[in-house]
Structures are given as C-alpha cells and as structure tokens.
A and B are shown apart, each in its own frame.
Chain A
C-alpha cells in the first residue's frame, strides 16, 4: 500500500497499540513507580525511595533463596532438555517411516505439561508410594521420598520441565532441515566420519537455533509457577520456591505490592538482557526484514 494510506495502516494497528499502552507499557511504567512505594492495594501507594530494592538485594533471605532455586532448576532441566531434544531431532531427521507419528507422540508432553492435571500426576508419581518408586522397586532399588527432600524435590520438578522437550525438538527439526545437504556430501567426499560431520557441520550450523532454544528455556524457567505451586508448594524448606512463586506470595499472600513490583522490575531487566542476546546473536528466528 502507498504511504498515503498511513492513516489506514494505523487504523489496522490501533487495537494492538491501545492494548500495548493499557496492558503492557502503561503497567510497566506504573510498576516502576510502585517499586519505590509501599503499596497494599487498599491504601494509596506511599513513597519509600529505594527501600524495596535495598531489602531485596541486601536483607531478604527468601529473594536469594528463590534466585538460587530458580537457577539450579534451570541448570538441571535446560541441559537435559536441550540434549534430549537435539538427539531425538537427529533421529527424526534420518527420515525413517512414520515420522509424523513419532513427532505427535513426542510433542504430547509439551502440549499438556503446564496443566494442573499433570502437576498432580507428577505429585502422585514421585510420592513415596508412587509410580517411580514402584518401578524402582522392580529392580530392587528402594526409592527416596522424592518430594520430601529439598534436593530430590527440585530434581523432580526439573524432570517435569525436561519432559516437555517437544517444542525445542520441533525447532531443532526445522533447523536441521535448513542445513544444506551439499555440505555433508562435500565432507563425505573428503572422507569425514560421522562424528566429525556432527561436530564440524551440524553443531556450528545449528548454533543460532541452539542459542535461541537455550535463552527461551532460561526465560521460561524464570516464569514457572504452576509446578512449584501445585506439586511442592515451594517446599520442602523453600527448596522449590521459584522466582515467580516468590513474587506471587509477596504480592497476593502478604499484599506487598510495592515490593513485588520491585521483583517484577528485576525480572524485566533480566528478561530484557536475555532477549537482547537473542536478537543480537540468535537472529535467524526472530529477524524481520521489510
């Protein structure tokens, strides 16, 4: 359309622009203001300067705990998720028959994984009398009470996250398809073995996709709520008090809306940095050319 249609263009964009102001940009700015106040929703916010941030970074034990929990959770779940997703994607790229069926089956956990139903399923499976320990008993292992120990509880939730590797896998499958076949043919002519081809062609060519998946998984880790809330309720001993859960509790159990806004801004800056990295280095997936 010609530039004289600018007004018409803005008319088409107007629903989104209104939503952006009212549901995104406006709230982001308001929460910046609220982060410098004491606010409980019922009384007007009271300016307290940097106190919320001082509390967050220097006094709050729980903030530090929630950060450590979340990072540990990410450090366990994300590498497993990436490796499994890539391994299965490579298998699927062999063009075996019935690839559609496999793809469907492998995507099912991603489809339902964030639901409350699956959270309860996980609670049952990792209970002291649950499926996992029944399975371990078959091979003579006496399993722990997974959800009662801080270490194993965190691990259990990390497994629930890793289980949902389906969407990362699909992105890898798409990425693998874009590597030119000629590269492999040339390498074979030069006598390169399988391993050499994987490390010297597949991995480097796939690196933007891997990077993209990695960053998205990290952001995703910081916003996990349902699993920690339903399966373990943040426990035992705050071992699964993930960042999003901590923010929720401060805001809605203790009405510390000002402090929770400071937490939200911390998250915003963190996600901002990660997103910047995606746009800068993983641009193949998000690049826009007009």
Chain B
C-alpha cells in the first residue's frame, strides 16, 4: 500500500516538475507570439505574456515595413528554396542510400566511412573554395548555390535512409528478382514505396534546416529583391526603430508558422527522425 502511494506521489511529483519546467521553457515563445498582439509599449511594461490590450496593428506594420518589399515576398522565396532543397535531398539521398544498402562492391566500407565523416563536416571548412567556385559560375546572388548541392545527396539523410532500408527483409529483393525485376525496377517499385516514412522524415528535416539556415543565405544573396525570410527579418530589424519590437515579433511569429505546422501535424515522422538527426547536435 505504502509502495503504491509512494509511486503515485512520485508520479504526481514528476508531472509537476515536468509541467513547471516545460512552461518556463516555452515562456519565451509565448512571450514572442502573444507579444506580437501587444502595443509596443506594453512589451516593455510587464513580464506577463498575456496582452492587456489586444492589437493586430503590428502585423500590417511589419508586413509592409520595407518599402516595395512586403514580407510575403521573402516567404515565397524561402518556400521556393526550401521546397526545392527538400525535393532534391529526398530524391538523391534515396538513390544513394539504396546503392549503399543493397549492393556489395569493392571499397564499400571505405566509401561509407568517408560519407559518415563528411557528415560531421562544418560548412565553414568548404566555404571559401565553394564561394569562389560559385563566383566563377556567376551564381552569386542567385538561389543556385543554395539549391543545387542538395541534388547530390546529403550524407546525413543517406545514413538515415540506409538504416531504414537495411530494416527491410532481403527476401523482398529475391522475390522481386524472380518476378523479373532488375535493380532499377526493384528500387522504384519495391523499395521506394516501403521507405516512404524515412523519406517524409528526410523531407521534413531538410525543409526545416533550409528554412532556418541564415549563414548560406547571408553569404550568397546580396540584393533585397532576392531575400529569404531570415534575411528579410534582419532587414526588418534594421528598418524599424531600435526599440520597436511589435512588428519584429509579428513577422518572427509568421516566420515560425511553417515549422509549427510541420511539427504538430507530422510529429510522428519528426520524432522518428530525431534519434538520428540528433547527430547534428
């Protein structure tokens, strides 16, 4: 009896701690999202996230703060880049992963090792020659440097998909071969449909990382007409007055909407991916 009581109290305590920490952890996000519905002076006057005077004024203000470039332009650009990166990463990574997972060939373990090592490679290491290369190609201030590399497989997602394919029974391959499949038809007709969950995880994470990525976009895009959401936010911060947080909070909230939508509607796939994607730190 005391045992169950103690466990019950233990579980109650665990819940209490988890809820309190969770609330504190999320408070900054609540502060920003609800802050975007406060008049700017109220953002400074209290520590409560709940607005005393609700207003929608920050949204049109932030949306139109940069003359001639409504915030929607940046969103379109970010959607274009992130979607193409996502598609490219899924296609190329799936093809390469199939090669690693279902064939034996000379040098396989060395190549796989190289791939695992390049997974750890920080952007900065290859940055300057890549920049010089794109410069000679005339690709600076275009979206190509952001999109094209995604079509050559991302080590990280190749690894994720390889693990997934290796979980599929080899008998499938044998059966498909008896039915007259060659490597290509086996890949397209048998393997691809079965690895859809891993592909969705790949699509989600490559989209999110591209959407959040500031560094490459800062380097490769120079003119405001081409800016994406992260660069648009930076321009917005420079365009509004120093302490004018309302419009900035409003557009920041807008910029996070796609991430929240993905996270809450496709959570199953996100959770599945995290154990592997945690590799990214």
Contact = CB atoms under 8 A, between A and B. Distances in A.
Interface of A: 1-3, 5-6, 8-13, 15-20, 22-24, 26-28, 30-31, 34, 41, 88, 91-92, 94, 96, 102-109, 111-112, 114-118, 120-122, 124-125, 129, 131, 134-135, 137-138, 163, 167-168, 170-171, 174, 213, 216-217, 219-220, 222-223, 225-226, 229-230, 244, 247-248, 251-252, 257, 260-261, 263-265, 267-268, 271, 274-275, 278-279, 285-286, 288, 290
Interface string B6-48: 0000110011011001100110110110000000000110110
Closest 4 CB pairs of A and B: A19-B152, A12-B99, A220-B281, A117-B252
B224 interface: no
8 contacts: A11-B99, A88-B21, A112-B212, A114-B214, A226-B215, A247-B127, A260-B127, A286-B116
A257 B132 CA distance: 9
Interface stretch (B52-60, B63-71, B79-87, B230-238): B230-238
A121 B15 CA distance: 28
A1 B104 contact: yes
A9 B234 CA distance: 45
B189 interface: no
Contacts of B92: 15-16, 19
A41 B140 CA distance: 13
B120 A1 contact: no
A97 B229 CA distance: 38
Interface of B: 10-11, 14-15, 17-18, 21-22, 25-26, 28-29, 31-32, 43-44, 46-47, 92, 95-96, 98-100, 102-106, 108-109, 111-118, 120-133, 135, 149, 151-153, 155, 158, 173, 183, 187, 208, 211-212, 214-215, 218-219, 229-230, 233-234, 237, 243, 245, 248-249, 251-253, 255-256, 259, 263-264, 267, 270-271, 274-275, 277-281
Contacts of A108: 25-26, 29, 263
Contact of B271 (A11, A27, A103, A115): A103
A18 B105 contact: no
Contacts of A122: 28
Contacts of A17: 111
Contact of B14 (A94, A107, A171): A94
A23 B149 contact: yes
A260 B183 CA distance: 45
Contacts, number: 271
Given A12-B95, A288-B109, A24 B118 contact: yes
Contacts of B256: 112, 115, 117
Contact of B281 (A91, A94, A167, A226): A167
B152 A18 contact: yes
The binding surface of chain A is classed by DSSP as: helix
A223 B112 CA distance: 24
A9 B279 contact: no
Contact of B18 (A96, A167, A170, A252): A96
Contacts of A115: 211-212, 214, 230, 255-256, 259
B122 A223 contact: yes
A264 B47 contact: no
B279 A285 contact: yes
A44 to B, nearest CB: 11
A23 B149 CA distance: 7
Contacts of A103: 271
A271 B120 contact: yes
A6 B106 contact: yes
A112, A129, A261: residue with the most chain B Cβ atoms closer than 10 Å: A112
